[in-house]
Amino acid sequence: MASAGRLLYLPAGWDFEIRGLARALSAATPGAWISHVTAACILGLWLPTWFRDCPELHLSKPRKLPPVRRKGVVGHTVLAFDQEVMELDGIRISTPARTWLDLAGILPLEDLVAVGDQLVRQPRLGLDDRPDPWSTLPQLQEMLKRHPKLKGIVKAREAAELIRPGSDSAPETFLRLALTASGLPEPELQLRVEPENPYSPAADMGYRAQRIAIQYDGGHHLTREQQSRDNRRDESFNSAGWRYCKFNADDLAQDFRGAVNKVHLALKER
């Protein structure tokens, strides 16, 4: 699996190793649970690249248990409610929503928003192994109320205000945030040529009133099959008279500065 800019990739076999270690640690520490970065890796949540080679396991426990003193284990003493911890494949682990909250003390704001976008995204039929999102915005807001003094809670509250259903990847989140941070209007996500037609081609985001579509093409768009689908999507927007802006990892590496300028000019021209 290849790396893509600010996204995490896992070397072959690494996921199996961390799951085995986490399962053993969870079994050896009754009442505790896998959390923070380790939970994010196991759950498949987005993480910045600097966590790629993190060799430590994160373990949380309630205050009634003694401190964690194991080599290679980062211990956290926290308050967690029953609905914030679950069992996954034999591992006692924080739920995706609670993992997001724990990451608020570690991640920059934009990355925390990207993880939140992933939590509330509607799974795609045939692509995801679950029918429902991991969480909803009201559920995240309720959890924030339960933990008013948790480390990173101010950042988590700010991130919750920026989370939107509809982003399919972290770069899409970063692109949206770059547009709004520059003062541009917030774009509509999963923008279809024909809004009432569920089979109509969709761009990642855009501005319907100005007929501007915006697309981020990640690494998976390099396959022949995906490129064929992309070409049909692009042609649908172009034929309908839309202005079409397409960006990639090169734009991401520049924090979408050029992308923002291009969209700004497109909006002025419309």
Residue 7 lies in a domain: no
C-alpha 83/C-alpha 142 separation (Å) is 12
Host H or E run for residue 76 = strand 73-77
Structural domain harbouring 258 = 170-269
The pLDDT score that the predictor gives to residue 133 is: 95
Residue 211 lies in a domain: yes
The pLDDT score that the predictor gives to residue 3 is: 36
Residue 8 lies in a domain: no
CA 157 vs CA 62, 72, 103, 219: distances in Å: 23, 31, 13, 32
258: three-class secondary structure by DSSP: helix
Residues 152 and 176 occupy one common structural domain = no
Residues 196 and 234 occupy one common structural domain = yes
Which of 162, 182, 201 is the C-terminal boundary of a domain? 162
The pLDDT score that the predictor gives to residue 11 is: 44
Read off the tokens for 141.
């807001």
The pLDDT score that the predictor gives to residue 52 is: 64
Residues 153 and 188 occupy one common structural domain = no
Residue 102 lies in a domain: yes
Instruction: Identify which of 100, 29, 81, 48 has the alpha carbon closest to the alpha carbon of residue 252.
Output: 48
Residues 114 and 20 occupy one common structural domain = yes
C-alpha 2/C-alpha 105 separation (Å) is 27
- Using a 10 angstrom Cβ sphere, with 0-12 exposed, 13-18 middle and 19 or more buried, the burial of residue 174 is buried
Residues 185 and 158 occupy one common structural domain = no
CATH for 221: 3.40.960.10
Residues 43 and 154 occupy one common structural domain = yes
pTM of the model: 0.88
CA angle 232, 204, 264 (to 5 degrees): 110
The pLDDT score that the predictor gives to residue 238 is: 86
Backbone angles phi, psi at 28, to 5 degrees: -85, -5
Domain count along the chain? 2
Provide the residue-wise pLDDT of the chain in tens; the chain has 270 residues: 333 333 333 444 445 588 888 999 999 999 999 999 999 999 999 999 887 667 789 999 998 998 888 888 999 999 999 999 999 999 999 999 999 999 999 999 999 999 999 999 998 876 677 889 999 999 999 999 999 999 999 999 999 999 999 999 999 999 999 999 999 999 999 999 999 998 888 999 999 999 999 999 876 555 666 677 777 888 888 889 999 999 999 999 999 999 999 999 999 987
C-alpha 111/C-alpha 21 separation (Å) is 26
